Amino acid sequence: MRIEKCYFCSSNIYPGHGINFVRNDCKMFRFCRSKCHKAFKMKRNPRKVKWTKAFRKSHGKELAIDSTFELEKKRNVPVKYNRELWQNTIHAMKRIQEIRTRRQNQFIKQRLKAGKKLELKDDEKEVDKHIHLIEPRVTEEEVYNAALNKTKEKLREKQKMLEVESMDMD
């Protein structure tokens, strides 16, 4: 059982699925679904169509060059069955998959760091542009002084009221 790759989008094609197109020069093109087949017939370039693996790799969205991709290459050389060889191969495949996922996660984190820096710069520019809309920061000391001044004013008003009442009585 061989899992093929779609010629257009590079997704997996399992046995019994997909569409095969054979050109006059006997070159076979395998497509995972009619969407890929129609795009191929319209002569679209997979590197320019945003949902394909080729676009993502060519635009730096996915890990493109890595030694873990060597195992995925197609080999047409027949090898005599050896149980130990198969066990070692399966163990290596699992280990390589772990390494690949770790490297892809690290690659994604590196990509997102650049975006966060750009976002931070944009935010700083926005604040600098509209600084007049932001109220100045008030410290605790200023709040305390303002409250103290209010209470002093109330006391003065009460004293004035008392003086006025005492004068009225006289």
Could you tell me if residue 60 is left (phi over 0), alpha (psi between -120 and 50 degrees) or otherwise beta? left
Q: How far apart (Å, rounded) are the C-alpha atoms in residues 129 and 50?
A: 35
| pLDDT tens, the chain, 170 aa long | 788 999 999 999 999 999 999 999 999 999 999 999 999 999 999 999 999 989 988 888 877 677 766 667 767 788 888 999 989 989 988 998 898 899 889 988 988 888 888 999 999 999 888 887 777 777 788 888 889 999 999 999 988 888 888 877 76
Q: How far apart (Å, rounded) are the C-alpha atoms in residues 18 and 37?
A: 9
Q: What is the pLDDT of residue 31?
A: 97
Global confidence as pTM: 0.50
